[in-house]
Amino acid sequence: MMEPATVRLVVAGVYALSALALAVALLRQPPAARKYCYPFVAVVAVTAVTVGFRAIGVGTVPIGSGELDAPQALADYLSYPLLFGFTAFLAGASRRYLGVVVVTAVIMRAGYDFAELGEGVLGTAGPLTILGGYVLLVGLYFGPLASAAERRSPKRALFYRKMRNLILFVFAILIGWAMLQLFGFFDPFTQVVTLEYIDLLLRVGFAAFVVMNARTLLDEGSTAGDPGTLPTAATSTAD
């Protein structure tokens, strides 16, 4: 069967093509909306590189009893805070909530590293940190951030709800995957394939989702603070 490196090379190619496609799609967006899309397209592009590095075996740093996959960590530390932070941004959260969300996402990712590389207390605290961080994010997204989103325009609130539901679900799957991986349910091939698939959805999928709905952010200026206003033309997009 294919080696993990081969898989990663293929995935890196997919990332590269996706980045190109997203860039093209980005150009179709109004200039004012593009600024919201650049980070996601950039993350996809960076991820294409990091995955390529990993495919060729570059960036592995021995730490403790294990090895730190630096390209993977780089891509994750960029993408996760971006995804959670952007979702909070869609809700119109304050800087404090944005900071809490971003830091929580970083801590969760760090918890995975501790669980992967650490032993003893650190190895046990890693998964608990991930679970605790996830519960905290769920509380924030369905609590104060949801309330804040209801005060935004209907389209932006809808955008927020979709983004929130998708990211929480995918991260729940990712956490589950991490737990299974920590307990050794995967072999190297299935591990790489499933992880790259999830990462591909997280990065490319959400980047495409943001690019396609970036216009929503532009309507905020005219409808913010009037959540009950219905656009004159309601067109179903089925996206």
Partner 1 sequence: MISSITDHYGRRVGVLLLGALVTTLGFVALFGMHTATVGTADAGLAALTATAIVVTLNIGLLGIVLVGNIAVDLRRLMAVTAAIRGGDFDVTVESSRSDEIGRLFQATDEMRASLKQASEESERAREDAEAARLEAETLTDELLDHADEIGRAMEHAAGGDFTTRLPEETDIDAVRRIAGAYNEMTADLSATLADLHAFAAEVGSTSDEMARRANDVSEMNESVAAEMRELADAIDEQTERLRTAAAETDDFSAMTEEIASTTDTVAADATAAAELGETGDRHAEAVIESIHEIVDLLQDLETLVEGLDDRMDGVAETTDLIAGIAEQTNILALNASIEASRAGGDGDGFAVVADEVKSLAEETRASTVTIDDTIAEVTGEVEAVTAETTEALSQIDETTAAAAEAGDTIGTLTDTVEEIDAAMADIAQATDEGAMGVERVASTVDSVHESAETAAERARTLASTADETATTMDDVRDTASSLSDRTETLERRLAAFETRTNVGDGASDRREVGSETGAQATVVADGGGDAR
Q: According to CB under 8 A, which one of 94, 185, 222, 226 is a site residue for partner 1?
A: 185
> Does 121 sit near partner 1 (CB under 8 A)?
no
Q: According to CB under 8 A, which one of 10, 102, 201, 218 is a site residue for partner 1?
A: 201
What is the nearest approach in angstroms of partner 1 to the Cβ of residue 12? 18
**Of the two residues 106 and 170, which places its CB atom closer to partner 1 in the complex?**
170
Question: What span, in angstroms and rounded, lies between the C-alpha atoms of 16 and 64?
Answer: 33
Question: What span, in angstroms and rounded, lies between the C-alpha atoms of 18 and 12?
Answer: 10
Q: According to CB under 8 A, which one of 14, 161, 182, 223 is a site residue for partner 1?
A: 161
- Which of 80, 56, 72, 176 lies closest to 117, judged by CA? 72
The alpha carbon of 197 is separated from its chain's Cα centroid by a whole number of angstroms, namely 13
How many other CB atoms are there within 10 angstroms of residue 28's CB atom?
A: 11
List all residues 6 or more positions away from 211 whose beta carbon is below 8 Å from its beta carbon.
22, 25, 26, 29, 37, 40, 41
What is the nearest approach in angstroms of partner 1 to the Cβ of residue 134? 15
> Does 215 sit near partner 1 (CB under 8 A)?
no
Q: Which residues bind partner 1 (CB under 8 A)?
A: 1, 154, 158, 161-162, 165-166, 169-170, 173, 176-177, 180, 185-187, 189-191, 193-194, 197-198, 201, 230, 232-239
